[in-house]
Structure 1
Amino acid sequence: MFVPRAGTYPGVGYLFADRAEAGELLAERLLFARDPVVLALPRGGVAVGEPVARRLGGALEVLVTRKIGYPPAPELGVGAIAEGGEPVFDLELLRKLGMTPESVAWVVEQERAELARRVAVYRGERALPDLTGREVIVVDDGLATGGTARAALRVVAGLEPGRVTLAVPVGARETVRALRAEADEVVALATPVDFRAVGQWYERFGQLSDADVLRLLGR
């Protein structure tokens, strides 16, 4: 069980110094995995996935996802898309906002373009590894609404893996519970009650660049 350290957020502490420490701790909960493929969601998930793959002796690769934002407030995700997959929408949220998947089609096309750009930067012409029958661990740096993780898991499920684990250092309790229907197992080191944002639980949670991702991938 984690005990929050004194942090910079009023009234709360933090659980992890940075994503690298979170990955090291997460790896200790994943020692059951044998020869896994670790698929990290860029950008932040790659910094967590790298120590996981290194500790488990698994292959590290990226699975690129993009949030589909609500146009007036793009930080509010109404869906997500992962490479090779179709958009996954929060239909209940769209209904409450008076919108439909068709009304954000132009946002989806923008995100498809950025998704394709990142795939080209991170993997070039290489396809995702063959996941048939493999143990797959999908890693991100945290779960808030879980939209991008859900989109990623559905793409992975279509590639006929042997077993799929979603692994995160921290996540909103309800989101973690909901995503158990999308994977064989969900491993979350912490599910705090007072969950407001993923970055709340890290002492250092700076944005990563494409160059940071390539460095972590050893490219």
Structure 2
Amino acid sequence: MSLALLAAFVAATAALMLIPGPNVALIVANSLRYGAHGGLITVAGTSAAMALQLAVASLGVTALLGELGQAFEVLRWLGVVYLVVLGARAWASPADDLSRMQAVSPGKTFARGFLVSLTNPKTLAFYAAFLPQFLDPGAALGRQMAILSVAFVATALVIDGGWAVLAGRARFVLGRFGRARNRLTGGVLIGAAVGLALTRR
């Protein structure tokens, strides 16, 4: 694989990741609630799920999963329900005192990021369609898939980490409007749920 092809892949990946989806919604929501460190823990969870999905796509299992359309639908709706529950909880939360950083549970926050990313079935189909466009048929495909997968996750860590830091800083700007901030957090998550619900196989 040439450096030019890899650079094109990273640029395309970065452009796609700048479009907010369920992962970014949860990262921003957790950063608004817990600060940048809560958002970064969420990024670790979403990135771990991406790595797992990329491994599945690299092994060619996506073709088999594509035959299980109903299973994809169930997975998608589980993700929708989970995002709505998180959003409703955030919406109904009392205003926080931002003079004290709210405690964050690393395990729960990581797990939430992992589950939200994993329950987006469109991701597997996207990987299967997107990654092969950057493969050189004359080189070892397994090695190329490994390189692209690492580059994809690394790009996600940088861009999603940026979302977390920016939202963490905005948290203090919105600090005087505690109730409104919680409703913004809830609204972002519920909006992501609506977007996921409206996606089609």
Give me the TM-score of the superposition, normalised by structure 2. 0.29
- Greater helix share, structure number: 2
Greater relative contact order (Cα < 8 A, sep 6+): 2
Larger radius of gyration: 2
- Greater strand share, structure number: 1
Give me the TM-score of the superposition, normalised by structure 1. 0.27
